[in-house]
């Protein structure tokens, strides 16, 4: 049984989350946080991975995105409640530490770090493929190295540099997806000047085997395919700790998550499945968004989308490196990682935490090139379900921390979870159901992803419990001495 948690923040000094006791600096401006929050939900997975979901569920993929989007909204509301009351660079890991015990903060923090350093390798490779296609004189591994080095330098410079790069990366994504929705929407309703697409129309939602051509069960399979594209929604709560007004930043990001998911995910996918029949071969061959642009007769649609995907990849790399390093920094502050991770430069940058994340990312890139079907596949699958583990930890942390906040500092509840505790329990039940359903999925590696992720999670939890026991023994020995 863990001791009763309190609102005291062990990694923060009297000056707040970015005070002198932490070493971090409030270098993120409001415009940085706003764009990080908006762009954070638009991952490269939306552009690249949506085609497989459409092929699996047909127009019913809209229900898959709606279900996962609703779950993300609920989880973000819980996280927003805790983070607005206690802004910290460790976000949900620090909340789990206080609510469930040090073992929980240790476990979820390291699993999240592991997830993002593997993502670094995936995104670096994806970006390198696009760049090699444009400039083949530089080999793919060379582009991966260049991209990683540039973004590492950006993160090492200052948190403001990260914010500025992410502002423009996210800005391009937002403008591109908004333009796609507007242009595609006009074409769907037949009012786009100069375009006469005989395949576009709302009839595409029902005329090719119905709205659910593969049955209702395909919606759940679609959930498995799209759920991981939402990972990154929680980044604003980590970044808020390095802003001038963390509470305001968290509140704003939390309150805007509904329209961000509704517009960027549901809006854009609706346009795709309305512009083209869901079973169009071009969606599989070219990708959903490229095929949709091609259907409108937009020249060089493939290259346009490659540029947008590259921007999304760079954005994900930039944020992934930032997120992994801040989680490592928080773990270092709490004694769950080497103390060097908690040290910062004069610019307020956790240099060792950044470099350690990059090194592991480089190792993962090497495995991706040399052992893609063995070592790297293991890394990919063993980190695949971490998003769901994180969301589950957020649910259980919020259930306990709400009571603590209400008892000790009710004025800090500026963001409140709706229908507490019923919606929290409902969200947790849905997450457990999704994990269970993944165990039945052999076609899309769902079973291996869950089993390997559970194996890695179990190993991390064992390490956490052993560490907690050793710490407790030492503390008891010191007290007796």
Which two structure tokens, joined as six digits, stand for 439? 């165990």
Which two structure tokens, joined as six digits, stand for 348? 């307020």
Neighbours of 45 (CB within 10 A): 20
pLDDT tens digits, one per residue of 355-414: 999 999 889 888 988 888 888 888 888 888 898 999 999 999 999 999 999 999 999 999
Domain assignment present for residue 305? The answer is yes
Domain assignment present for residue 141? The answer is yes
Percent of the chain with pLDDT over 90: 42
Q: Say which residues have a Cβ less than 8 Å from residue 313's Cβ, sequence separation at least 6.
A: 44, 123, 126, 127, 130
Classify the C-alpha dihedral 146-377-44-456 as positive or negative. negative
Q: Name which of 29-43, 82-96, 305-319 the model is least confident about.
A: 29-43
Q: How far apart are CA 89 and CA 316, in angstroms?
A: 18
Domain assignment present for residue 12? The answer is no
Largest CA distance in the chain: 84
Question: What's the whole-number mean pLDDT along residues 449-456?
Answer: 93
Tally the domains of the chain: 1
Q: Is the pLDDT of residue 58 over 90?
A: yes
* SS3 sequence of 57-83: HHHHHHHHHHHHHHHHHHHHHHHHHHH
Q: Is the pLDDT of residue 434 over 70?
A: yes
Q: Name which of 50-64, 185-199, 205-219, 290-304 the model is least confident about.
A: 185-199
Q: Is the pLDDT of residue 10 over 80?
A: no
Cβ burial 77-105 (10 Å sphere, 16+ → b, else e): bbbbbbbbbbbbbbbbbbbbbbbbbbbbb
Question: What's the whole-number mean pLDDT along residues 147-151?
Answer: 90
Domain assignment present for residue 16? The answer is no
Domain assignment present for residue 349? The answer is yes
Q: Is the pLDDT of residue 21 over 80?
A: no
Higher-confidence position of 57 and 48: 57
Q: Is the pLDDT of residue 32 over 90?
A: no
Question: What's the whole-number mean pLDDT along residues 169-185?
Answer: 89
Q: Quick one: pLDDT at residue 393?
A: 95
Q: Quick one: pLDDT at residue 197?
A: 61
Domain assignment present for residue 14? The answer is no
**Euclidean distance between the first and the last CA atom of the chain, given in angstroms as a whole number:** 24
Q: Is the pLDDT of residue 14 over 80?
A: no
Strand residue runs (E) in 153-281: none
Phi (first) and psi of residue 12, to 5 degrees: -125, 145
Classify the C-alpha dihedral 16-22-28-29 as positive or negative. positive
Q: Name which of 4-8, 110-114, 297-301, 349-353 the model is least confident about.
A: 4-8
Neighbours of 190 (CB within 10 A): 11
Q: Name which of 39-53, 157-171, 218-232, 323-337 the model is least confident about.
A: 39-53
Q: Is the pLDDT of residue 196 over 60?
A: no
Q: What is the pTM of this model?
A: 0.89
Q: Say which residues have a Cβ less than 8 Å from residue 80's Cβ, sequence separation at least 6.
A: 237, 250, 251, 253, 254, 255, 415
CATH code where residue 172 lies: 1.20.1740.10
Domain assignment present for residue 476? The answer is no
Q: Is the pLDDT of residue 16 over 80?
A: no
Residue in this structure with the two tokens 């009571």, named with its chain if needed: 403
Structural domain for 251, as ranges: 30-471
CB 311 within 8 A of CB 173: yes
Distances in Å between the Cα of 428 and the Cα atoms of 72, 76, 436, 447 are: 11, 13, 12, 20
Q: Quick one: pLDDT at residue 41?
A: 66
Question: What's the whole-number mean pLDDT along residues 455-478?
Answer: 90
Domain assignment present for residue 24? The answer is no
């Amino acid at each position: 049984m863990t001791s009763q948690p309190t609102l005291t923040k062990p990694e923060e000094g009297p000056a707040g989350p970015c005070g002198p006791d932490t070493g971090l600096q409030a270098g993120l401006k409001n415009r940085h946080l706003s764009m990080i929050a908006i762009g954070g939900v638009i991952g490269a997975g939306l552009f690249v991975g949506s085609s497989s979901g459409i092929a699996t569920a047909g127009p019913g993929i809209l229900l898959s995105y709606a279900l996962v989007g609703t779950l993300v909204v609920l989880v973000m509301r819980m996280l927003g409640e805790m983070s607005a009351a206690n802004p910290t660079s460790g976000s949900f890991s620090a909340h789990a530490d206080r609510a469930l015990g040090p073992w929980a903060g240790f476990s979820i923090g390291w699993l999240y770090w592991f997830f993002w350093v593997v993502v670094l390798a995936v995104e670096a490779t994806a970006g390198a493929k696009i760049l090699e296609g444009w400039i083949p004189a530089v080999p793919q591994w060379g582009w991966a190295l260049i991209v990683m080095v540039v973004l590492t330098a950006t993160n090492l410079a200052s948190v403001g540099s990260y914010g500025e790069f992410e502002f423009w990366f996210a800005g391009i994504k937002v403008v591109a997806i908004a333009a796609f929705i507007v242009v595609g929407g006009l074409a769907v309703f037949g009012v786009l000047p100069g375009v006469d697409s005989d395949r576009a129309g709302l009839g595409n939602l029902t005329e090719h085997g119905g709205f659910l051509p593969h049955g209702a069960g395909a919606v759940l399979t679609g959930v498995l395919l799209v759920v991981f594209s939402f990972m990154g929604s929680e980044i604003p709560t980590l970044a808020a700790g390095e802003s001038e007004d963390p509470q305001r930043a968290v509140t704003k990001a939390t309150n805007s998550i509904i329209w961000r998911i509704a517009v960027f995910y549901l809006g854009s996918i609706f346009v795709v499945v309305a512009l083209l029949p869901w079973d169009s071969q071009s969606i599989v061959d070219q990708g959903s968004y490229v095929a949709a642009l091609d259907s409108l007769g937009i020249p060089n649609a493939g290259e346009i989308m490659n540029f947008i995907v590259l921007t999304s990849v760079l954005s994900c790399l930039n944020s992934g490196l930032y997120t992994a390093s801040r989680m490592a920094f928080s773990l270092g502050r709490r004694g769950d990682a080497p103390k060097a991770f908690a040290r910062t430069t004069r610019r307020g940058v956790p240099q060792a935490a950044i470099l350690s994340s990059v090194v592991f990312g480089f190792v993962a890139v090497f495995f991706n090139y040399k052992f893609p079907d063995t070592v790297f596949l293991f890394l990919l699958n063993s980190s695949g379900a971490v998003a769901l583990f994180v969301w589950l930890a957020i649910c259980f942390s919020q259930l306990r921390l709400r009571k603590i906040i209400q008892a000790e500092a009710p004025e800090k509840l500026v963001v409140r979870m709706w229908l507490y505790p019923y919606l929290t329990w409902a969200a947790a039940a849905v997450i457990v159901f999704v994990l269970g359903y993944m165990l039945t999925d052999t076609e899309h590696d769902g079973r291996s992803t869950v089993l390997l992720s559970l194996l890695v999670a179990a190993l991390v939890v064992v390490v956490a419990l052993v560490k907690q026991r050793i710490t407790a023994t030492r503390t008891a020995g010191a007290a007796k001495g």
